[in-house]
Amino acid sequence: MRLDKYVAGAAQQSRSDVRRAIQKGLVCVNGAVCRSADAQVPAGAAVTLNGQPLVLQQYVYIMLDKPKGVVSAAADKNDVTVVDLVGRAYPRRSLFPAGRLDKTSTGFVLLTDDGGFAHDILAPKRHVSKTYTVVIDTPLTEEMRRGFAEGVTLADGTALSPAEVEALTPDGLTVKVRLRQGVYHQIKRMFGVYGAGVNALHRDAIGGLALDPALAPGQWRELSAEEVSKISS
């Protein structure tokens, strides 16, 4: 790979800015200043910019705590999107949300530029679970629990896969739901079958990876390789 392309990708800077840095002698390869933008970067080479080591990642995986009112999309003409919250840090990457949360919902949204990974974890046959804390306006009943476990049939006749629901509070109004499929407004529609409304919905986990409690709404961080592997576990 050309040096200017490597540095631009690793530092998330424009090619023109990178070429100027190279010409000024600010880029080193294996400890030696390199002033040739088209020089090839050897595999495993140590590249630095202004003395700071650079690592070119093929893909990025980002955990975002989505706030209420933000839409799960890469772009939107009217609303702030999840990509808007992080995109300025990755101007040279085409990020998108792997899955979605409703505008009024909050919690874990995964952002990435790895289309293959997103396809794999969203594929119905993979059954990657998603876990939610849900506040409902009617106490959880045994009928709801049994219906979720057997697979709810929605009002339009759509038959859903089995899901799990359990009460988190004594009054049965705050519950945990775990799904292994994704249907538009699924949780709201599932509770609607039993005459219950959803007042709040927060995604706590995707697969085996829980939302980092240190993240405030709107905050985000990159995931480690180990954390990424937990998503599909």
Task: Please tell me the predicted confidence (pLDDT) of residue 88.
Answer: 85
Strand pairing category for 52-54 and 47-49: antiparallel
30 touches 46 (CB < 8 A): yes
pTM for this structure?
0.83
Which is the CATH superfamily of the domain at 3-54? RNA-binding S4 domain (3.10.290.10)
The SS3 assignment for 179 reads strand
Residues with Cβ within 8 Å of 199's Cβ and at least 6 positions away in sequence, in order, are 135, 136, 137
* pLDDT at residue 43 in the model: 86
Q: Which CATH architecture has domain 129-206?
A: 2-Layer Sandwich (3.30)
Task: Spell out a b/e string for 38-59, using b for 16 or more CB atoms within 10 Å of the CB, else e.
Answer: ebebeeeeebbbeeeebeeeee
* Residues 6 or more apart whose Cβ sits within 8 Å of residue 185: 102
Q: What distance in Å separates the CA atoms of residue 22 and residue 84, rounded to the nearest whole number?
A: 30
pLDDT of residue 172: 97
pLDDT confidence of residue 129: 94
- Residue 78: what pLDDT? 94
DSSP per-residue letters across 186-217: HHHHHHHTTT--EEEEEEEEETTEEPPTTPPT
- What phi and psi, each to the nearest 5 degrees, are found at residue 225? -60, -40
Query: Catalytic positions, please?
Result: 102
Element (H, E) at 6: helix 3-11
Phi/psi at 133 (nearest 5 deg)? -100, 125
Per-residue model confidence (pLDDT) at position 10: 87
Instruction: Provide the token pair at 229.
Output: 């592997």
Looking at residue 12, its pLDDT comes to: 84
- Give the start-to-end residue ranges of the domains of the chain: 3-54, 61-124+209-231, 129-206
Specify whether the backbone of 163 is left (phi greater than 0), alpha (psi in -120 to 50) or beta: beta
Whole-number pLDDT of residue 51: 93
In this prediction, the residues of the chain whose per-residue pLDDT falls under 70 are 233
pLDDT score at 115: 94
pLDDT at position 83, please?
A: 96
> What class, spelled out in words, does domain 61-124+209-231 have in CATH?
alpha beta
**Structure confidence at residue 91 (pLDDT):** 84
- Per-residue pLDDT of 60-88, as tens digits, reads 999 999 999 999 999 999 999 999 999 88
CB 31 within 8 A of CB 46: yes
Give backbone dihedrals phi and psi of 36, rounded to 5 degrees, phi first: -110, 110
Domain 61-124+209-231 in the same topology as domain 3-54: no
State the greatest distance between any 2 C-alpha atoms of the chain, in Å, as a whole number.
71
**Gap between the Cα atoms of 181 and 126, Å rounded:** 9
Q: What is the pLDDT of residue 44?
A: 87
Q: Give the 3-state DSSP-derived string for 62-113, with helices as H, strands as E and coil as C.
A: EEEEECCCCECCCCCCCCCEHHHHHHHHCCCCCCEECCCCCCCCEEEEEEEC
